[in-house]
Structure 1
Amino acid sequence: MPRTLVADLDAHIGQQVTVCGWVNSLRLQRKLQFVIVRDHTGMVQVTHRRPDGGSELEELIEHGMPPESAVVVTGTVVANEVVKLGGVEVVPTRIEVVSQADTPLPVDRNSGIDHRLDWRFLDLRRPEQRLVFEVSNTVEQAMREFAQQAGCTEIHTPKLMGTASESGAEVFAVKYFDRTAYLAQSPQFYKQMAIAAGIDRVFEIGPVFRAEPSYTARHATEFTGVDVELAWIDGADDVMRFEERMLAHALAAVRDRHGERIVESLGREVVVPEIPFPRYTMAEALKLLRERGWDPSGEKVDLDPEGERSLSALVRERHGHEFVFVTEFPVSVRPFYHLRPAGNPEVTESFDLLWNGIEITTGAQREHRYDVLVRQAEEKGLGIEPLRSYVDCFRFGAPPHGGLGAGLNRIVMVLLGLDSIRESTFLFRGPNRLAP
Structure 2
Amino acid sequence: MTERILVNQLAAHEDGPVSVSGWVETVRDQKKVQFVILRDETGAVQLVNPATRPDPSSSSGTRAEQDAAALALTDTISNLAHGTFLTVTGDLKHDERVKLGGIEVKIDTLTVAAAALPETPIAADSSMDKRMDWRFLDLRQRRNNLIFRVSTTLEHAMRQYWVDRDYVEIHTPKLMSSPSESNAELFALPYFEDKTAYLAQSPQHYKQMAQAAGFGKVFEIGDVFRADPSFTSRHATEFTSVDAEISWIDSHEDVAAMQEELLATAIQAVKDKHGDEIKELFDIDVVVPTLPFPRIPLAEAQKIVTARGYDNPREDGDLDPESERQVSAHVAETYGHEFVFVTDYHAGIRPFYHMVDEATGLTRSYDLLFKGVEITTGAQREHRIDVLEKQALAKGLKLEGLEHYLDFFRYGVPPHGGFGMGLARVLMLLLGEASIREVTFLFRGPTRLAP
Are the structure 2 counterparts of residues 379 and 36 from structure 1 closer, same or farther at C-alpha, using a change threshold of 3 Å? same
Q: Which amino acid aligns with 1:379?
A: A
Query: What SS does the aligned partner of 1:11 have?
Result: coil
C-alpha displacement at 1:297, in angstroms?
7.6
C-alpha displacement at 1:14, in angstroms?
2.3
Are the structure 2 counterparts of residues 32 and 163 from structure 1 closer, same or farther at C-alpha, using a change threshold of 3 Å? same
* Partner residue, 1:155: 170
Identical residues among aligned pairs (%) = 54
Q: Distance in 2 between the 1:243 and 1:386 partners?
A: 31
* Partner residue, 1:229: 245
Unaligned segments of structure 1, at least 5 residues: none
Pairing 1:109–2:135 present: no
C-alpha displacement at 1:300, in angstroms?
5.3
Contact 2:312 2:320 in 1 (8 A): no
Are the structure 2 counterparts of residues 195 and 297 from structure 1 closer, same or farther at C-alpha, using a change threshold of 3 Å? closer
Query: What SS does the aligned partner of 1:361 have?
Result: strand
Q: Distance in 1 between the 2:290 and 2:13 partners?
A: 43
Contact 1:2 1:18 in 2 (8 A): yes
Pairing 1:375–2:390 present: yes
Q: Distance in 1 between the 2:259 and 2:50 partners?
A: 57
* Partner residue, 1:334: 350
Contact 1:13 1:76 in 2 (8 A): no
Q: Distance in 1 between the 2:315 and 2:443 partners?
A: 36
Pairing 1:125–2:125 present: no
Q: Distance in 1 between the 2:164 and 2:341 partners?
A: 24
- State how 1:1-12 maps to structure 2 within 5 Å: 1-12=2-13
Q: Distance in 2 between the 1:11 and 1:399 partners?
A: 55
Q: Distance in 2 between the 1:161 and 1:333 partners?
A: 24
Picking from 399, 403, 409, the partner of 1:394 is 409
Unaligned segments of structure 2, at least 5 residues: 56-69
* Partner residue, 1:418: 433
Q: Distance in 2 between the 1:354 and 1:296 partners?
A: 17
Query: Which stretches of structure 1, 4 residues or longer, exceed 6 Å deviation after superposition?
Result: none
Pairing 1:319–2:320 present: no
* Partner residue, 2:67: none
* Partner residue, 2:226: 210
Are the structure 2 counterparts of residues 154 and 296 from structure 1 closer, same or farther at C-alpha, using a change threshold of 3 Å? closer
C-alpha displacement at 1:167, in angstroms?
3.3
Contact 1:167 1:382 in 2 (8 A): no
Q: Deviations over 1:325-362 (max 9, x none)?
A: 000111110011000001012x1000000000000000
Q: Which amino acid aligns with 2:359?
A: G
Q: Deviations over 1:357-404 (max 9, x none)?
A: 000000100000000000010111100011011111111211110000
Q: Deviations over 1:395-429 (max 9, x none)?
A: 12111100000011111111101110001110000
Range moving further from structure 2, 105-114 or 373-382: 105-114
Q: Distance in 1 between the 2:41 and 2:77 partners?
A: 22
Contact 1:80 1:88 in 2 (8 A): yes
- State how 1:176-195 maps to structure 2 within 5 Å: 176-177=191-192, 178-195=194-211
- State how 1:94-105 maps to structure 2 within 5 Å: 94-105=109-120
Q: Distance in 2 between the 1:141 and 1:394 partners?
A: 33
Q: Deviations over 1:43-96 (max 9, x none)?
A: 110011124646111111112x11110111110001111111110100011111
Picking from 93, 100, 108, the partner of 2:108 is 93
Range moving further from structure 2, 293-302 or 111-120: 293-302
Q: Distance in 2 between the 1:118 and 1:419 partners?
A: 18
Q: Distance in 1 between the 2:301 and 2:393 partners?
A: 30
Q: Which amino acid aligns with 1:104?
A: E
Contact 1:142 1:250 in 2 (8 A): yes
* Partner residue, 2:289: 273
Contact 2:185 2:226 in 1 (8 A): yes
Aligned length: 434
Are the structure 2 counterparts of residues 96 and 327 from structure 1 closer, same or farther at C-alpha, using a change threshold of 3 Å? same
Q: Distance in 2 between the 1:342 and 1:11 partners?
A: 64
Q: Which amino acid aligns with 1:396?
A: Y
Q: Distance in 1 between the 2:127 and 2:13 partners?
A: 41
Q: Distance in 1 between the 2:90 and 2:220 partners?
A: 47
